[in-house]
Homo-oligomer: A and B are copies of this chain.
Amino acid sequence: MASIKDVAAEAGVSVATVSRVLNDHPSVSADARARVLAAVGALGYRPNAVARSLRTDQTHTLGLVISDVLNPYFTELARSVEEEARALGYSVIIGNADERPELQDHHVRTLLDRRIDGLLVSPTDGGSPLMLDAARSGTPMVFVDRWIPGLDVPVVRADGRAAVRDLVAHLYGLGHRRLAIIAGPAATTTGSERVDAFREALRAYGLPLPDAYIGQGDFQAASGRRATEEFLDLAEPPEVVFAADNLMALGALDAVRARGLRVPDDIALAAFDDIPWFVHTDPPVTAIAQPTPELGRAAVRAVVDLIEGRPPQSVTLPAALVVRRSCGEPPPMDSAPMDSAPVNVTQRSNP
């Protein structure tokens, strides 16, 4: 593959001049510029990004470590992250942790070895030593969706509290009193937060949340299925199951179907994270929708601010309830898409 030397030789100038042309440095004669450009074209030369990065100590690359690529929520997030990054002149390398802390560490490590300029993470656990080191050692880093408490790292996330309250109001209004939740791993913020929000909302209605109605899931479909089976085996099964993410809701549907039961007649279902398929499931699933693309964009802007020396912003956007038929009583129409006005914008600090 042609190198800058070959271009220089072809154009009859020094490598310095070629470099100057390529980085459009002002002081290059029109003549030299033309000859260099011609040589570049003739040789099909493309600068070696590896060499350039070594010299400049910049890769113009962001690392994105997500918890699970198979989860449509994260895939949508990844897409918006890449889009915004591209607009700002950065590439993105995605690492899929599959909800496994050691895989997450693997990806963080290789990304760091590659000297990415900044890191976007949706942590799978409470923070491995590696992750803590990275955060403290000053790698530009931003948490998205989930975060690790106690670190001075900006967080970009959706706040589901209000939407969960709306959901519980909706369920209460439909006459449901025995509400259960399939939680995510307690080590993740979204895992515990959603349970807390749910518990709090129930309390407002004087409803209990017995331990038996808290299923332990791990954000994967299989765990949703297992938890739902346990609910159904209870002497007094819940009337509603609220899955803390869309994959566990899928697992819940599997479990219900396997028993030959029907949603919502035998048991109602709601989920955190809305996805296009929820419109066409049987029945359409009531869900809490996050402004996912906005989150991705905000997260990118935050890391890039950090990288380029500007003060980064933590951002919290509201999630919204989308009522469908999986909890009973068909509403007249599909709820309107959520709006995404920031509910709360803080300066470089954790909630």
Give the Cβ gap from A163 to chain B, nearest Cβ, in Å: 23
Contact with B along A71-109 (1 / 0, CB 8 A): 010011011001000100001011010100000001001
Contact with B along A309-335 (1 / 0, CB 8 A): 000000000000000000000000000
Task: Name the segment of A48-56, A186-194, A230-238, A300-308 touching the other chain.
Answer: A48-56
A128, CB-defined interface residue at 8 Å: no
A133, CB-defined interface residue at 8 Å: yes
Q: Assuming the A-B contacts A79-B69, A250-B276, are A47 and B113 also in contact, with contact meaning beta carbons closer than 8 angstroms in the complex?
A: yes
B48 touches A50 (CB 8 A): no
Complex Cα spacing A153 to B284, Å:
44
Q: Assuming the A-B contacts A50-B53, A115-B48, A279-B254, are A70 and B79 also in contact, with contact meaning beta carbons closer than 8 angstroms in the complex?
A: yes
Which residue of chain B has its CB nearest to the CB of A277? B277
Complex Cα spacing A276 to B47, Å:
43
B281 touches A277 (CB 8 A): yes
A296, CB-defined interface residue at 8 Å: no
Interface residues of chain A: helix, strand, loop or mixed (majority): helix
List CB contacts (< 8 Å) of A25-55 with chain B.
44, 46-51, 53-54
A259, CB-defined interface residue at 8 Å: no
Q: A70 — which chain B residues lie within 8 A by C-beta?
A: 72, 75-76, 79
Q: A112 — which chain B residues lie within 8 A by C-beta?
A: 46
Q: Which of A51, A114, A277, A280 has the most CB of B within 10 A?
A: A280
List CB contacts (< 8 Å) of A250-269 with chain B.
250, 253-254, 257
Complex Cα spacing A284 to B75, Å:
23
Which residue of chain B has its CB nearest to the CB of A78? B69
Complex Cα spacing A280 to B76, Å:
21
A282, CB-defined interface residue at 8 Å: yes
Give the Cβ gap from A262 to chain B, nearest Cβ, in Å: 12
Complex Cα spacing A254 to B280, Å:
8
Q: A72 — which chain B residues lie within 8 A by C-beta?
A: 70, 72
Complex Cα spacing A280 to B276, Å:
13
A54 touches B50 (CB 8 A): yes
Q: A59 — which chain B residues lie within 8 A by C-beta?
A: 50
A113 touches B49 (CB 8 A): yes
Give the Cβ gap from A5 to chain B, nearest Cβ, in Å: 15
Give the Cβ gap from A81 to chain B, nearest Cβ, in Å: 11
A110 touches B133 (CB 8 A): no
Complex Cα spacing A70 to B96, Å:
15
B114 touches A50 (CB 8 A): yes
Complex Cα spacing A283 to B82, Å:
34
Which residue of chain B has its CB nearest to the CB of A276? B250
Complex Cα spacing A167 to B79, Å:
33
List CB contacts (< 8 Å) of A124-151 with chain B.
133
Which residue of chain B has its CB nearest to the CB of A249? B280
18 A-B residue pairs with CB within 8 Å: A46-B112, A48-B54, A49-B110, A49-B113, A49-B115, A50-B115, A69-B75, A70-B75, A79-B96, A82-B96, A91-B110, A94-B94, A250-B277, A253-B280, A277-B280, A277-B281, A280-B281, A280-B282
